[in-house]
Amino acid sequence: MRYLIITILTIPTIFYDSAVAGQSSCINCHISSEWVSDTSIAATFMAGDIHRNMGLGCEDCHGGDPGIGFEEGDPELAMNPAKGYGNPPDRLSIPEFCGKCHSDVEYMKKYNPRLSTDQLKLYKTSVHGKSLYNRKDTKVAICTDCHGAHGILPSSDSRSRVFHAKIPETCKKCHSDEGYMRGYKYEGKQIPVDQYSEYKESVHGILVLEKGDNSAPACNDCHGNHGATPPNLASVSAACGECHANNRDFFNGSPHKTPWKEMDLPECEQCHGNHYIQAVTDDLLGVSEDAICLDCHDETSAGYKTAMAMSMSIDSLKFSIEAAQAVVEEAELKGVEGGQARFDLGSAKDDLIRVRSVIHTFDLEQVSDITRAGIKTAGEVQLMAEAALSDILIRQIGLAISLVVIVFIAIMIRLKIKKIDSVTNFEVQEKK
């Protein structure tokens, strides 16, 4: 049905195309059910394939002569091996087939000078590419599995299978299929098929899939795309650090860096997980029930004390901000302009955000320096708001005094009116 609709919709374009670009025997035959049983290939190609939009025709990939054959009623004239026509490539040869053009720097410059030409090279380094070429495993992903064959859209097109928010769905097709993935192993273990279901629930997945945030990572941002490979221990933090650069740098300078490397522990992943990364809370730090520091540090260790101290330091800053905020809100409720106080309190809140990143240094001194500054700012704001509150009291006392004076004056005026009215004759003598 879908192909029928596409076919109907593209009929006018075909006529236009034939008229302008000359008769294409390939399209004329492949769009007609008289000649071929599946007209969808030509239809999807005509419906906006990027190659077609760039002016390429069937013959640029398949060879042959599109200028002949249809009117003569003999498709063999178009599909002439002497004119380069060959059978469509099989799965094993498709990467090389696409790479013919896409690895040719000079050729690609004509169409899109910014497009890289290393896809095939990268593919050969990927798990997919290695399996294809080394083990002749044609089940692995090849170009057409992700990009399509005749309806290829640029990755910037939201309908494309490689558009940022569509990538998890594209990878999922194979990687969530238990039967398809059976037998595929990584480091001797069966590759799991729960990546998508975990990612979907993760902070990144929610951003990409639900909120359409293209700045949050999809599968390819950590694993690569053409060179897709499971990140090893070193490259996990490198992948995270692409976006979380400060946290990466703080961690690299932290006392955890070397011992974790020696113990073969992953870096970011050790505390935050991989596909199922949840929004972090301050409870992860410290020695409370939910704290992940306790996974490694027991009560006797120095790390336990540092974790506890860092957590307390951050809690103190949070409490200071909350206390200041409450007084500012109370003052605002009573009518004091609190714009400046809110602005200043924003600086303490910035410190809180900053310290949540700096904890990746696991350096109590650095953490305390920031929390102290934030607590100081919050304290000043609180003092400012408290002063405003006492100012309100002074205002209200002033109001009470003013009202007493005003009411007194009003009573005096009223008495005066009574007095002068008593000696005034209101009656007017009409003139005769």
Partner 1 sequence: METGSRLYEWFNSRVDLENILKFMKKKTVPYHRHSLWYYIGGMCLYLFIIQVITGILLLLYYKPTAEAAFESVQYIMTEVPFGWLIRSIHSYAANLFIGFVFIHMFSVFLMKGYRKPRELTWVSGVFLLFLAMAFGFSGYLLPWNQLAYLATNVGTNFAVMVPFIGQWLLEFLRGGPEVTGATLTRFFGFHVAVLPGICTVFLAGHLILVQRHGMSVPVSIEKEIRSGKAKRLEIPFFPNFLYRDALGWTLALGLIILLSTLFPWELGEKADILKPAPPHVRPEWFFVFMYQTLKYVPKALGVFGFAVAAMVWIILPFFDTKSNRGEYNRLFTIIGVAALLYVIVFTVIGYVAPGE
List residues near partner 1 by CB under 8 A.
335-337, 339-340, 395-396, 398-399, 402-403, 406-407, 409-410, 413-414, 416-417, 420-421, 424, 426-428, 430
Which lies closer to partner 1 via its Cβ, residue 365 or residue 427? 427
Other beta carbons within 10 Å of 166? 19
Could you tell me the smallest distance in angstroms from the CB atom of residue 350 to partner 1?
19
Cβ 343 to partner 1, closest distance in Å? 10
Q: At what angle do helices 233-241 and 245-252 cross, to 10 degrees?
A: 140
Instruction: Kindly tell me the burial class for residue 213, based on how many C-beta atoms sit within 10 Å of its own C-beta (0-12, 13-18, 19 or more).
Output: middle
Nearest to 372 by CA among 327, 324, 316, 328: 316
Angle at 32 between CA 36 and CA 66, to 5 degrees: 85
Ramachandran sector of residue 48 (left: φ over 0; alpha: ψ -120 to 50; beta: rest):
left
User: At its nearest, how many Å lie between partner 1 and the CB of residue 432?
Assistant: 13
**Smallest separation, CB 388 to partner 1 (Å):** 8
Which lies closer to partner 1 via its Cβ, residue 174 or residue 389?
389
Question: Could you tell me whether strands 185-186 and 189-190 are parallel, antiparallel, or unpaired per DSSP bridges?
Answer: antiparallel
Nearest-angstrom CA–CA distance, 162 and 146: 7
Task: Judge contact between 21 and 28, C-beta under 8 A.
Answer: no
Are 248 and 239 in contact by the 8 Å Cβ rule? The answer is: no
Nearer to partner 1 (CB atom), residue 138 or residue 340: 340
Judged by beta carbon, residue 118 or residue 332, the one nearer partner 1 is: 332
Please return the burial class of 118, using the count of CB atoms within 10 Å of its CB with bins 0-12, 13-18 and 19+.
middle
- Cα–Cα dist 18/57, whole Å: 12
Q: What does R_g of the chain's alpha carbons equal in angstroms?
A: 37
For residues 319 and 408, which CB has a smaller minimum distance to partner 1 in the complex?
408
The answer to whether residues 251 and 268 touch, using CB atoms and an 8 Å cutoff, is yes
Q: From CA 50, how far away is CA 61, in angstroms rounded?
A: 13
Identity of the residue, 262 or 426, whose beta carbon is nearer to partner 1 in the bound complex: 426
Instruction: Choose among 64, 9, 53: nearest CA to 31.
Output: 9
CB of 347 to partner 1, least distance (A): 17
Report in angstroms how near the CB of residue 131 gets to partner 1 at its nearest. 50
Task: Indicate the residue among 326 and 413 with the shorter CB distance to partner 1.
Answer: 413
**Are 283 and 291 in contact, with CB atoms under 8 Å apart?**
yes
Nearer Cβ to partner 1 (8/404): 404
> Minimum distance between the CB of residue 340 and partner 1, rounded to whole angstroms?
6
Nearer to partner 1, 245 or 417 (CB): 417
User: What is the closest distance, in whole angstroms, from the C-beta atom of residue 395 to partner 1 in the complex?
Assistant: 5
Smallest gap from Cβ 422 to partner 1, in A, equals: 11
Q: Which residue in 339, 323, 336, 328 sits closest to 392, CA to CA?
A: 336
**Which lies closer to partner 1 via its Cβ, residue 55 or residue 335?**
335
Nearest approach, Cβ of 214 to partner 1 (angstroms)? 20
Residues 6+ apart with CB under 8 A from 162: 146, 147, 155, 170, 225
Q: CB nearer to partner 1: give 193 or 336.
A: 336
**Are 334 and 386 in contact, with CB atoms under 8 Å apart?**
no
Q: Closest distance between partner 1 and the C-beta of residue 413, in Å?
A: 5
Question: Which whole-number Å values give the CA distances from 348 to 144, 325, 353, 385, 389, in the listed order?
Answer: 52, 11, 9, 15, 21
